[in-house]
Amino acid sequence: MPLSVLLKTSIKRGLNVLGYDVHKTPKPDATTPYEPAYPHATYAPWNTDREFREIYSRIRDNTLVDVYRCYELWTLVTQLAQLPEGIIIEVGVWRGGTGALIAAAARRAGITDRIYLCDTFEGVTKASDLDNLYKGGEHSDTSEKIVGSLLAGFPGLTDVVVLRGVFPEETARSVREAKIRMCHIDVDVYNSARDVFEWAWDRLVLGGVVVFDDYGFDGCIGVTRLVDGFRGLSDRVIIHNLNGHAVVVKVS
């Protein structure tokens, strides 16, 4: 190994031991809208929120969503308790981690409306040429039993309904309520995200939110393209959070 490479490797390892991570800053590239983003802000309330940490420690092995997005879901649900009514629905549950987190946050905040967790439990569906990574069937390593077992470990999570099947075509008929306060869409691909959003938007109460996971990831360009297509519409505000969320707030 050349001395220069050995030196760089040693320095990087030493900094890692001290708790620092080293990244090469990429040059701006006008041919692609993607590059690693490392915000300089250091405020990390998820580290000191004891209630969140306790819940997160119990669901972290059942989700692919990182702590930053999990904390955003936690705080969004808490704030949405001020809305007078509306169910919460998650489409794209995998092993139930974020679903359980959302449900725990809702009950803690005093939201008593029903919560729906919807998944095919057979992996990603509706992948198309609008998506660059997913081909269909990914994330099928789950089951209703896994989700049910996780939920059972949280006392007080009543009225949490798990629906199996393609949403909305196969399972939306089981959602009887007419109003939604929050819809969490974590389906990875364009067509599925579009169909869920179109079903949910007219049912969303004023001030309600739709949270798109996968926004901004270079493996989920279909979801990013879908959300970017909403920009400029007067009935919504779109927030691009660098953590991988797009939050769409209904304003009229």
One-letter amino acid of 137: G
Contact criterion met (CB below 8 Å) for 73 and 115: no
pLDDT at 20: 61
Query: What is the pLDDT confidence band of residue 146, given thresholds at 50, 70 and 90?
Result: very high
- Which residue has tokens 């169910």? 87
192-197 mean pLDDT: 98
The pLDDT-based confidence of 212 (bands split at 50, 70, 90) is very high
Tell me, what's the pLDDT at 154?
95
Q: Report pLDDT for 47.
A: 98
Q: What is the pLDDT at residue 80?
A: 98
Asked if residue 101 has pLDDT above 60, the reply is yes
Phi/psi for 220 (5° steps) reads: -130, 50
Q: Which two tokens stand for residue 143?
A: 């089951």
Cis peptide bond upstream of 168, omega within 30: yes
Average pLDDT, the chain: 92
User: In this predicted structure, which of 5-19, 79-93, 123-137, 155-169 has the lowest mean pLDDT?
Assistant: 5-19
Tracing tokens 């279909």 back to the chain, one arrives at: 222
- Which residues are within 8 A (CB) of 39 and not within 5 positions of it... i.e. 6 or more apart? 242
Least confident of 2-16, 67-81, 190-204, 237-251: 2-16
Output DSSP code: residue 29. -
pLDDT at 2: 61
Which residues, in sequence order, are CB contacts of 5 under 8 Å at separation 6+? Answer: none
Q: Would the pTM of this model clear 0.85, i.e. be above it?
A: yes
Mean of pLDDT values over 81-98: 98
CATH number for the domain whose boundaries are 43-250: 3.40.50.150
DSSP, collapsed to helix, strand or coil, labels residue 7 as helix
Q: What is the percentage of the chain residues whose pLDDT exceeds 70?
A: 89
Pick the more confident residue, 23 or 118: 118
Q: What number of CA atoms fall less than 13 Å from residue 95's CA on the CB side?
A: 13
Q: How confident is residue 7, by pLDDT bands cut at 50, 70 and 90? A: low
Per the CB < 8 A criterion, the answer to whether 69 and 216 are in contact is: no
- The percent of residues in the chain predicted with pLDDT above 90, rounded, is 82
What pLDDT score was predicted for residue 6? 59
Helices (H), 18-143: 50-59, 67-80, 97-108
Q: Exposed (0-12), middle (13-18) or buried (19+): which is 139, by Cβ within 10 Å?
A: buried
pLDDT in tens, 14-67: 655 555 655 555 566 777 888 888 888 999 999 999 999 999 999 999 999 999
